[in-house]
Amino acid sequence: MRLIYLTLIFLVTNSFPLENIFARKLIDGPTTGLLSKAYYDLNFRFFFGGGLTTSVDLGVGNNINLGIGWGIDHLINQGKVDFFIPGVALKYRALQESYQLPSIALGFDNRPLSSYTSYQNRHYFKSKGLFLVISKNYLFLGSQLGMHAGVNYSVVDNRLETYGYTSNDGANDFPNLYFGFDKVILGNFSIMMEYDCAMDDNLSHNPFEGYLHAAARYFFLNAILIELDFKDLFQNKKIYWGRNNYNRGRFSRELQISHIRHF
């Protein structure tokens, strides 16, 4: 049995480009990680309310990834099934990481992340839109530790948001910050934590009213990644029904499954 386990570890770490299992995102926020050239990632995200988003990322060059994504609300639930407008993604790594310097990537991603609320005319958690992110990896306690920080502007969701009024008053049309880390614990098992400052949400622009997310991720059989996400641990999310009328959001769990392969 031990020989089988060691053989699987050998296959994962020697026949598969290691860059493909480095974090290309935290929970929602992009990092500078990229798929290797000629690899794809087919991802399924199951979120609260019985919804599902599906996305495909492609490694089209040494420093470029392209993607597309779409989704369905209330797929496993009561009531009407709603289909999301598809979104696209582009990430370009402008600077490779070195011993002294971090890596830098920029791009755009407006693929849906969560359920859609028709009253606010936006998704529960906004897409990142335009982003610029810096990442640096270290060897810590015998395994990889990645530190990440980014700035983003949610072009689509910022523009659509209305708070129940007939036109957007621009209250949440604001840049945002996020940061976090991913840490390999044992072999292909890793944990992640992300803090989204939510400066483009909650009408306050206050970074201390942001959303803390955490996740556990396991990569196995040289192709499958399973991730369990824990969203908004501080329960800071506000669901607005009018300018001064809102309900507080609740901590939620999500499941992601990805298939990563050469094409």
User: Is the pLDDT assigned to residue 30 strictly greater than 90?
Assistant: yes
Q: Global pTM?
A: 0.87
Q: Could you tell me the pLDDT band of residue 25, with boundaries at 50, 70 and 90?
A: very high
Instruction: For 149, list phi and psi in degrees, rounded to 5.
Output: -150, 135
Whether the predicted pLDDT of 196 surpasses 70: yes
Is the pLDDT at 9 greater than 80? The verdict is no
Token pair listed for 110: 């407006």
Q: Across 6-10, 59-63, 178-182, 245-249, which has the greatest mean pLDDT? A: 178-182
Domain boundaries, the chain: 2-262
Can you name the residues that pair with 67 across neighbouring β-strands?
Answer: 57, 89
pLDDT in tens, 91-102: 999 999 999 999
Q: Where does 187-223 show beta strands of DSSP type E?
A: 189-196, 211-220
Tokens (6 digits) for 123: 């998704």
34-84 tens-digit pLDDT: 999 999 999 999 998 889 999 999 999 889 999 999 999 888 877 788 888
Pairing of strands 82-83, 245-248: unpaired
Quick one: what percent of the chain has pLDDT higher than 70?
Answer: 85
CB 165 within 8 A of CB 139: no
Q: What is the pLDDT of residue 224?
A: 92
Q: What is the pLDDT of residues 225-263, one digit of tens each?
A: 999 999 999 999 887 766 667 778 888 999 999 999 998
What one-character-per-residue DSSP string does 32-51 give? S--PPTTEEEEEEEEETTTE
Torsion of Cα atoms, 56 then 195 then 224 then 89, to 10°: 10
Structure tokens at 200: 């483009």
Of 31-35, 135-139, 141-145, 240-244, the least confident: 240-244
Report the share of the chain in percent with pLDDT over 90: 56
Instruction: Quickly name the fold that domain 2-262 has.
Output: Porin (2.40.160)
